[in-house]
Amino acid sequence: MSSLLEVANVSKRFQMGGILGRQEVRAVDEVSFGIAADKPEIFTIIGESGSGKTTLARMILGLERPSEGNILFRGEPVHHERRADRLKFMANVQPVFQNPFEAFNPLKRVDRYLQSTARRFLATRDKAAIEAAMDGALQKVGLSLAEIAGRFPHELSGGQLQRVAIARALIPNPPLLIADEPVSMVDASLRMAIVNLLKSLRDDLGVSVIYITHDLATAYYISDRLIIMQKGRVVEMGPARTVLDQPEHPYSQLLKASVLSADDAGAGRLAPAGDLLALSNERLGRADASRLEERGDGRRVRVYEAG
Ligand SMILES: Nc1ncnc2c1ncn2[C@@H]1O[C@H](COP(=O)(O)OP(=O)(O)OP(=O)(O)O)[C@@H](O)[C@H]1O
Ligand SMILES: [Mg+2]
């Protein structure tokens, strides 16, 4: 089984300076997982605000270097010094960001973004070739160049704009997309459309997607596998349905209970489910004496040594 992406024992520490002295934040703490090259999937990273999801995504995109561990894309490190190597890597691993209204300059026509991306990755100025690439990418997300040509961001709906952002990411035909909370800024009615689009990218185009979210409902709906992160650590991982149907780790149970008790998990606000929260915090206190234990059903759960 050849590997598309290999994340091996990756940690990221940030030094924070404060009036009370320097402090270290372990944004990501010994995370490992892999995505196979021959089996496109939606791999979800789920966890509350501050659990390290974006930091992990930025490291996979080569934008940030791990403090420890390695990230390999098709067997090669994702961090590249040379511009040409970086461009080649970016053609393979493309980001989709959270807020389409922030991603686009309000004074710039949206087709301009697609155009400059196409120019860069196709390394051509041939107008017909560029327009064909733009239109091809837009068709994949259910739009066309004719529909968006000459329009400014405010002239498109949030859902359309997010689809344009995804189309832009698809221009170089990447085998891997990293979508960091792509639906958190679109309203509920559009959320399913975007989520279904990610699914069709997997099923029809063979694109793997790392889907980052707070939202258990969409995670359950589209993920093949997932990892649940808490304060930088993976507490549970495995096949999405197995884990979410019957979460084993207290924090995973808390996440699920919070979704059932409050509708705002999508905004990163978790309703405190008293006992579970206390339990999971208590366990965090001795997080060092812990490891991920393999279960027969394909999942791994963090277990803590007594003491
Ligand atoms: N450049 C940085 N310098 C210092 N600390 C950072 C930096 N980037 C992230 N952090 C810290 O690392 C932790 C993880 O942040 P991260 O943005 O990865 O979380 P997240 O899971 O993406 O959260 P959210 O759901 O709110 O987007 C947080 O405690 C954050 O404050
Ligand atoms: Mg984030």
Question: How distant, in Å, are the alpha carbons of 111, 132, 169, 172, 227 from that of 125?
Answer: 15, 12, 19, 15, 42
Residue 62 to residue 80: CA distance in whole angstroms: 7
- For residue 285, pLDDT over 80 is answered with no
Determine which residue's CA is closest to atom 8 belonging to ligand 1.
Answer: 55
% of the chain with per-residue pLDDT over 70? 89
Report the pLDDT value the prediction gives residue 258, as an integer from 0 to 100: 79
Q: Whose CA is nearest to atom 25 of ligand 1?
A: 49
Average pLDDT over residues 19-43: 93
Give the number of the ligand closest to the Cα of residue 11.
1
Give the Å distance between the CA of 4 and the centre of ligand 2.
23
> What mean pLDDT is predicted for residues 132-149?
95
| Residue ID of nearest Cα to ligand 1 atom 2 | 14
Least reliable range by pLDDT among 22-31, 81-90, 173-182, 267-276: 267-276
Q: Is the CB of 14 under 6 A from ligand 1?
A: yes
Centre of ligand 1 to C-alpha 14, Å, is 9
pLDDT at residue 48 is higher than 90: no
Q: What domains appear along the chain, each with residue ranges and CATH number?
A: 3-259+269-304 (3.40.50.300)
Choose one of 16, 25, 178 to mutate for the ligand 1 pocket test, by most ligand atoms within 8 angstroms of C-beta.
25
How far is the C-alpha of 177 from the C-alpha of 201, rounded, in Å?
10
Ligand 2 mean position to 281 CA, how many Å?
Answer: 21
Is pLDDT of 226 > 50? yes
What percentage of the chain has pLDDT greater than the value 90? 69
DSSP 17: -
